[in-house]
Amino acid sequence: MNLVYHIFTKLKTWSQDPFNRIFILILLFGILLRFYQLEGFVTFLGDQGRDAIILKRIVTFEHFPAIGAPSSVGQVFLGPFYYYFIAPWLFFSGFNPIGPAIGVAFFSSIFLVIAYVAITELFNKKVALVSVFLLAFSEVLINFSRFSWNPNLLPLASFLLFYVLVKGLKDHDVKKFVISGALFSISIQLHYVSLALTMPIVLVLIHYLYVNRKRTSKNLIPIFAMGVSFFILSLPLLVFDLRHSFLNSKNFITLFTDSKSIAGSGFQEIFNTFTALNVFAFRQNFHAFFSLLLLILLILSMIFTWKQKRQLSLLILFFLIGLLITSFYTGRKIPHYFGALYSYYYIIIAYFVTQIFWNKKLGIFLVMFLIGFIFMNIQGYSFLFNHPNNQIQKAQEVARLIDQNISINRYQVTSLPHQYSDSTYRYFLEIWKKRPIEKDSLEKAEELFVVCEDECTPIGDPQWDIAYFAPREIIGTWDVANVKLYKLIR
């Protein structure tokens, strides 16, 4: 009873702080934007269907994968961390595929709490409040938080990596180095764009050894521990590579040696990458001069704050080098390619905005900036203005129709024009114990269901599933959930 009273007293005292009260208000809005009409608007397409099948097999102890999802470029497999981390949410939801999306929304909301506490410690409550405001209302981060996909938790993981590593460097704490190594492995397993953080991490560790060079041998211990924890969490992927003749490593090398999208990074490409980041972070295509000025100011700030404000300069270092490495990819930049950088960028912006405008004379400009940020981002809150697409419900309707027309156990399912978008229907069929023949299997089916998501003619289509089945007759057609379903036999 005394413990409950003590906690209640602490919370009451904490809530009396005006900064904390404002934070609670921002947090409530952030949670609302992440959960509002989630099931109706959640993305449930091919990648989510594939992941749901894998998560279901983990939860039912059927299969424990050593690899994660393949990357969209180069077919390089990620590590399996995300699958094991998010799988319990599928179980808690009774195998409703909304479960993993709820998990992502939950951890994205927890991110706001973690950010407030950590940024307060690194800087102060003013910077923490403005940072959390930007994180809470950012359209790109809100969109990440509203469906299940491995890169969507990267802003949280990369922020934790920076925070714990900085704390470890300051406190010479081996445990924090161990956690940092684990978080770096987790970040890379969420998406390989996190490899952009390798260089700033290495530079920071070299500087750590140099500053403490009088006891170098002692300081090698935490760095070694960091490497061990990174290795242990990456072990499943390494074992997979060893068992499959280094398939992943070969694909990764091929990506960098053969891809025309990977090239040396000149200043123009760095500038283009920074411009793309601003489009996603602020939903605005800033004038080239303003973007250039902002980039130059960031570089100068890192240089001139190195001694007096080390944590700020380290944050800018992580951001700028991460941006530099990201710019080596010269292909089309899409939002999740910057997943490791968003939190750093918002905190840097919050720091300088707070330093300049958080005072009685210029406070109105801070208010205008924050209102303007909401105005720029609210246009992307599609769940506030549009009708829900109900992708889970539609996939379930198609799967139910397939289920009702199965006449033999050995049947196959595919889709057109995208061969692998059938995974959403396969998921429901599997949890209903009507599992079709595995995708890309050489086992011959007796029936084939083709889901045409656009106009198509399944007989004679060269898609592999259809060509291998070699259908001769359509024995059923149905219109359901804006698609056309065909049942074919040989």
Whether the predicted pLDDT of 419 surpasses 90: no
β-sheet bridge partners, residue 447: 411
Whether the predicted pLDDT of 261 surpasses 70: no
* Span 86-102, average pLDDT: 97
Whether the predicted pLDDT of 296 surpasses 90: no
Q: Give me the count of residues in the chain.
A: 490
* Span 462-489, average pLDDT: 94
Share of the chain above pLDDT 90, in %: 69
Choice among 71-75, 271-275, 452-456 with the minimum mean pLDDT? 71-75
Write down the pLDDT at residue 361: 86
Max distance between CA atoms of the chain, in angstroms, equals 81
- 205-214 pLDDT, tens digit per residue, is 999 998 888 7
* Span 295-314, average pLDDT: 81
Contact 205, 220 (CB under 8 A): no
Q: d(Cα 135, Cα 389) in Å, to the nearest integer?
A: 26
Q: Whole-angstrom distance between the N-terminal and C-terminal Cα of the chain?
A: 72
Whether the predicted pLDDT of 216 surpasses 60: yes
Write down the pLDDT at residue 462: 92
Radius of gyration for the alpha carbons in the chain, expressed in angstroms and rounded: 25
- Return the sign of the alpha-carbon dihedral for residues 376, 377, 379, 380: positive
Whether the predicted pLDDT of 164 surpasses 60: yes
pTM over 0.85: yes
Strands 411-416 and 473-480 turn out to be unpaired
* Span 267-288, average pLDDT: 86
Q: How confident is the model at residue 309 (pLDDT cuts 50, 70, 90)?
A: confident
Whether the predicted pLDDT of 264 surpasses 80: no
Q: d(Cα 281, Cα 283) in Å, to the nearest integer?
A: 6
Q: d(Cα 480, Cα 354) in Å, to the nearest integer?
A: 54
Write down the pLDDT at residue 249: 81
- 327-345 pLDDT, tens digit per residue, is 887 778 899 999 999 999 9
Q: Is the peptide bond before 65 cis (omega within 30 degrees of 0)?
A: no
* Span 233-261, average pLDDT: 79
**DSSP code, position 197:** G
Share of the chain above pLDDT 70, in %: 96
Burial class (CB in 10 A: 0-12, 13-18, 19+), 39: middle
Single-letter amino acid code for the residue at 315 = L
Q: How confident is the model at residue 257 (pLDDT cuts 50, 70, 90)?
A: low
- Token readout for 426 is 């396969």
Q: How far, in Å, are 18, 28, 128, 184, 490 from residue 21 at the CA level?
A: 5, 11, 13, 33, 68
Contact 437, 422 (CB under 8 A): no
Contact 46, 418 (CB under 8 A): yes
Q: d(Cα 336, Cα 193) in Å, to the nearest integer?
A: 9
Write down the pLDDT at residue 259: 57
Of 385, 341, 382, the residue nearest 142 (C-alpha): 382
Q: d(Cα 433, Cα 355) in Å, to the nearest integer?
A: 60
Q: d(Cα 47, Cα 396) in Å, to the nearest integer?
A: 16
Write down the pLDDT at residue 415: 94
Whether the predicted pLDDT of 240 surpasses 60: yes
Whether the predicted pLDDT of 256 surpasses 80: no
Write down the pLDDT at residue 331: 76
Q: How confident is the model at residue 260 (pLDDT cuts 50, 70, 90)?
A: low
Write down the pLDDT at residue 1: 59
Q: d(Cα 255, Cα 247) in Å, to the nearest integer?
A: 12
Q: d(Cα 252, Cα 196) in Å, to the nearest integer?
A: 15
- 27-68 pLDDT, tens digit per residue, is 999 999 999 999 999 999 999 999 999 999 999 999 999 899
Q: Is the peptide bond before 417 cis (omega within 30 degrees of 0)?
A: yes
Q: Please give the mean pLDDT across all residues of the chain.
A: 91
Q: d(Cα 159, Cα 111) in Å, to the nearest integer?
A: 9
Q: How confident is the model at residue 266 (pLDDT cuts 50, 70, 90)?
A: low
- 108-137 pLDDT, tens digit per residue, is 999 999 999 999 999 999 999 999 999 999
